[in-house]
């Protein structure tokens, strides 16, 4: 429960330190940023790590040093951080929100504060409305309008939280309730169970005969900020991470109906209820009732679907996008599963902007049971990441070969790169370098604002080189932060199919790119997909589950996903 709070505070400290002109704080700033990424993407709670293994446990985390671990300890023990409070007095600015706006870094935020007194989003909106920003040095009219658009985008997200933050929190709460000894069963429902990319609130379903005790227990959980409503069957609490959580307690006989109902989505439920009515039955959260009012289901969710004449539908598909009709015809696709994944084809190491050595990555990936892993550090045009030249790739690949020998049959490392698709559609490495790779991944990183026509041509031209095997995070969107690039998806998907380019599903929780909807469109073109983690540190290798769920939400089967293949079959795909 502390992770997102501490990550945010570290980010903010780094932002504020950047404004401190008195001395060079480059390394200190970097330390806070690294620590923020580690904590922010950690699936285990830092509070638990500290309680179990103390400061030493914290310092074992990559990117956490002596001073950042002391900070974590201070925050866990006192709920405050002196260093943060002091900086905050000096800069009373809402960095956490303002830095979410595309194009606003710490320095520009400070300028807005000094020149216009902008402390938060509301101040910023006022300044835009009064056209005060366009006259500031280094801003201009275009930048004023971009900032306005970015605020609108942020606000239209309606405070929905990334699944990558909401799901681990829901799992912690579920486990705490499960271990309370008060309940018979507890499950996560709602959009979290459907693995939707963002979540409005958490829904947790409990089977217990001690409803009052369960509700008391929930209200006292350390994750809870306050209780908003408390009743015998439903309690709503506000969580410290800034999300509401509904907890419902039901009787055992209602479990199947309740988990079905509270998993949703609403449209799926409405359609199911109509099917029930057509059969002279009544479906609600308590059961499936016949004309006499007798509940005809007592057990599982499967039973409800079966009694209505449908096959059971995986939660990820329950969005009323045609899945009910397929279930009636017994024609549901058999969706790809996490256990089908055999390798990960998009991973960064310390050679560019990753945090771990190739060896550390190989070791962790092998522990996760991956059979192969593709090393895809950046090419030179992506210079902010320390992207490599052709010459540097020779050394990189030699290092990959060496680790490959060392690991023998435990795991196979593949030589690759996340290459830049340049503005004119060319690639930024020599053919000789490209030929020395096992496969090639490419992405658009710069000039993201091109118009649709130009961008479409740029990407297709890159596909036409015949060198690209995987098109990484195709739309470049960052959820709640950056809109997708403009391109003609139909043309791109068709060209991908023609050139044997697999489309990536990037598992990073703020990317999930392609999105479920785009996958549903792309699959019609018969194109293949690669579910990758885009890991920048070893813990990220576990993010695969988010990509797989997104693939399931896009109805993909195992054979449509290339990294479910054996290495031998994968190499055949790469040869086309
Ligand atoms: P969210 O929280 O916005 O991310 O999305 P959900 O799907 O978790 O929605 P939520 O929390 O409002 O409700 C949980 C589930 O309860 C929802 O997926 C389906 C069910 N549900 C809620 N309202 C209705 C309703 O009016 N009719 C029916 N049939 N089901 C409903
Ligand atoms: Ca919900
Ligand atoms: Ca809810």
Boundary (domain end) residue, out of 156, 190, 221: 156
200 lines ligand 1 (CB under 6 A): yes
How many domains, in total, are found in the chain?
A: 4
Cis ω before 514 (30° cut-off from 0): yes
Same domain, 182 and 103: no
Atom 8, ligand 1: which residue's CA is nearest?
Answer: 190
- 511: domain CATH number? 3.20.20.140
Mean model confidence pLDDT for the chain: 93
Which mutation among 236, 237, 266 tests ligand 1's pocket best, with the greatest number of atoms within 8 A of CB? 266
Backbone angles phi, psi at 419, to 5 degrees: -90, 155
- 128: domain CATH number? 1.10.150.110
CA distances from 454 to 105, 425, 426 (A): 28, 10, 13
Same domain, 411 and 543: yes
**Could you report the per-residue pLDDT of 157-183, keeping only the tens digit for each?**
667 899 999 999 999 999 999 999 999
Whole-model pTM above 0.85? no
pLDDT at 27: 85
Same domain, 242 and 263: no
Percentage above 70 pLDDT, the chain: 99
Percentage above 90 pLDDT, the chain: 77
Same domain, 352 and 473: yes
Boundary (domain end) residue, out of 250, 284, 310: 250
**Could you report the per-residue pLDDT of 549-574, keeping only the tens digit for each?**
999 999 999 999 999 999 999 999 99
**Is residue 333 included in any domain, yes or no?**
no
Atom 15, ligand 1: which residue's CA is nearest?
Answer: 262
| Among candidate residues 197, 200, 206, 193, the one with its CA nearest the CA of residue 315 | 193
pLDDT classification of 241: cutoffs 50, 70, 90: confident
**Is residue 445 included in any domain, yes or no?**
yes
| Among candidate residues 464, 528, 472, 470, the one with its CA nearest the CA of residue 495 | 464
pLDDT at 44 over 80: yes
Same domain, 118 and 191: no
Same domain, 243 and 277: no
| Among candidate residues 94, 104, 202, 107, the one with its CA nearest the CA of residue 153 | 104
pLDDT at 157: 65
pLDDT at 389 over 70: yes
Same domain, 92 and 231: no
- 221: domain CATH number? 3.30.460.10
Same domain, 68 and 175: no
**Is residue 265 included in any domain, yes or no?**
yes
pLDDT at 261: 97
pLDDT at 42: 81
Task: Tell how far the Cα of 198 is from the centroid of ligand 2, in angstroms.
Answer: 10
pLDDT at 240: 85
**Is residue 395 included in any domain, yes or no?**
yes
**Could you report the per-residue pLDDT of 433-446, keeping only the tens digit for each?**
999 999 999 999 99
pLDDT at 23 over 80: no
Same domain, 541 and 458: yes
Residue ranges making up the domain that contains 261: 257-328
Same domain, 431 and 384: yes
Boundary (domain end) residue, out of 122, 156, 190: 156
Q: Are 322 and 290 in contact (CB under 8 A)?
A: no
| Among candidate residues 97, 138, 150, 141, the one with its CA nearest the CA of residue 114 | 138
**Is residue 454 included in any domain, yes or no?**
yes
Same domain, 146 and 194: no
Which mutation among 158, 165, 191, 234 tests ligand 1's pocket best, with the greatest number of atoms within 8 A of CB? 191
Weakest-pLDDT range from 39-48, 111-120, 318-327, 418-427: 39-48
Q: Which ligand is nearest to the CA of 170?
A: 2
- Average pLDDT (204-226) is 95
pLDDT at 429 over 90: yes
Count of beta carbons in the 10 Å neighbourhood of residue 135: 12
pLDDT at 45: 86
- Average pLDDT (55-73) is 92
């Amino acid at each position: 429960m502390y992770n997102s709070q501490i990550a945010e505070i570290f980010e903010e400290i780094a932002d504020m330190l950047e404004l401190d002109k008195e001395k060079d704080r480059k390394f200190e700033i970097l330390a806070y940023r690294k620590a923020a990424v580690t904590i922010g993407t950690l699936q285990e709670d830092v509070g638990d790590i500290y309680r179990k293994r103390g400061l030493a446990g914290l310092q074992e985390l990559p990117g956490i040093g002596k001073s950042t671990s002391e900070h974590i300890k201070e925050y866990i023990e006192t709920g405050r951080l002196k260093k943060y409070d002091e900086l905050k007095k000096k800069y009373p600015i809402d960095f956490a929100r303002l830095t979410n706006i595309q194009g606003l870094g710490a320095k520009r935020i400070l300028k807005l504060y000094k020149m216009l007194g902008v402390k938060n989003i509301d101040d910023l909106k006022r300044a835009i409305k009064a056209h005060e920003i366009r006259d500031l040095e280094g801003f201009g009219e275009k930048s004023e309008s971009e900032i306005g658009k970015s605020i609108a985008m942020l606000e239209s997200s309606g405070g929905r939280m990334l699944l990558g933050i909401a799901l681990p929190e829901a799992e912690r709460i579920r486990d705490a309730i499960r271990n309370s000894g008060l309940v018979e069963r507890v499950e996560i429902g709602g959009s979290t169970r459907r693995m939707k990319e963002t979540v409005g609130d958490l829904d947790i379903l409990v089977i217990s005969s001690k409803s009052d005790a369960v509700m008391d227990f929930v209200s006292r959980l350390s994750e809870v900020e306050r209780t908003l409503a408390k009743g015998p069957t439903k309690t709503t609490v506000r969580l410290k991470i800034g999300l509401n959580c509904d907890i419902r307690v039901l009787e055992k006989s209602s479990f199947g109906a309740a988990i079905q109902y509270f998993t949703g989505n609403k449209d799926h439920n409405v359609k199911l209820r109509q099917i029930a009515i057509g059969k002279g039955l009544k479906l609600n959260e308590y059961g499936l009732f016949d004309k006499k009012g007798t509940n005809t289901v007592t057990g599982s969710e499967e039973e409800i679907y079966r009694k209505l004449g449908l096959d059971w539908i995986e939660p990820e598909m329950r969005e009323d996008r045609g899945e009910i009709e397929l279930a009636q015809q017994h024609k549901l696709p058999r969706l790809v599963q996490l256990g089908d994944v055999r390798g990960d084809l998009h991973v960064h190491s310390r050679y560019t902007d990753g945090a771990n050595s190739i060896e550390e990555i190989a070791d962790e990936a092998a522990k996760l049971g991956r059979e192969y892993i593709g090393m895809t550090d950046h090419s030179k045009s992506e210079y902010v990441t320390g992207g490599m030249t052709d010459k540097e790739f020779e050394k990189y690949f030699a290092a990959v070969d060496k680790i490959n020998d060392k690991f023998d049959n435990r795991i196979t490392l593949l030589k690759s790169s996340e290459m830049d698709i340049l503005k004119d559609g060319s690639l930024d490495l020599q053919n000789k370098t490209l030929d020395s790779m096992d496969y090639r991944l490419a992405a658009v990183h710069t000039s993201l604002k091109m118009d649709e026509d130009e961008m479409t041509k740029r990407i297709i031209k890159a596909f036409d080189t015949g060198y690209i095997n995987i098109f990484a995070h195709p739309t470049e969107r960052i959820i709640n932060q950056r809109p997708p690039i403009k391109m003609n998806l139909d043309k791109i998907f068709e060209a991908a199919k023609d050139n044997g380019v697999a489309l990536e599903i990037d598992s990073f929780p703020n990317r999930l790119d392609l999105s479920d909807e785009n996958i549903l469109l792309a699959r019609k073109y018969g194109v293949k997909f690669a579910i990758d983690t885009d890991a920048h540190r070893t813990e990220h290798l576990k993010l695969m589950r988010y990509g797989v769920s997104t693939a399931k939400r896009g109805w993909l089967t195992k054979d449509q996903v290339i990294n479910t293949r054996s290495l031998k079959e994968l190499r055949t795909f790469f040869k086309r």
